[in-house]
Structure 1
Amino acid sequence: MDEFKFTPNQYYVDEGRRRFADIANYAIITIDGEGYEYPIAETINRDGFFKHYFDVEDEPVGNIERIELFTESGASLGSGVGYIEKGDDGWQIAIKLFVTLKEDEENDASEG
């Protein structure tokens, strides 16, 4: 049986990344054991990745222990540690995500 090879074009990959970036709505950021809700302040889409930024005020002070990303309806999208940058008016935290699209080499397009 012949194989059918499919290569996604750049538009398809970029559109997929944009749609992924649109799913998230807010984060719960845990600072010294207490969770605080922060909306996404800005999302940047670049070649190969997107970044969600959250502006965290000066208060509360403490260690950022966890960041969990959520949809508008409250479904969890994942958790972990973000990239933290100290700004003049507080912290700016960014979660950087890479989205790749590739053909499954074991997939035979002629199969149902």
Structure 2
Amino acid sequence: MSEVQDIIRLLQSRRFSLTNEKKLQAEIEVELTAFGIEHEREYRLGAGSIIDFLVKDSIGAEIKLKGSKLNIFRQVERYTGFDEIKRLILVTNVPMGMPPLVNGKPVYVVNLAKAWL
């Protein structure tokens, strides 16, 4: 199983708080640390571009609990434009689709709201 799939499975197996992005970041960081998954929180990609997590030096993870689908897509598009990001996981409770590739890089969507159904 790939690293991305392992991370997705971990995220989908938990019920996280969906009311505050900073609280959710902290909860996800606890899980990543507990499972020994190397990560850096609030990684600066460039001026004005800070992704919530850089995992294993190449997987971006961005948390979005609110915002328009277009704005979320634009943020994903911006982050996948950086060389450091080889794959991106969008962690959200916003029901939305995403092209499988953005800027030629795989993008995965994890909808955390499903854990509460």
Shorter-chain TM-score category?
under 0.3
Q: Quick check: which one's helix share is greater?
A: 2
Q: What TM-score do the two structures reach when normalised by structure 1?
A: 0.24
Q: What TM-score do the two structures reach when normalised by structure 2?
A: 0.23
Q: Quick check: which one's strand share is greater?
A: 1
Higher relative contact order (CA 8 A, sep 6+): 1
Task: Give the structure with higher Rg (CA).
Answer: 1
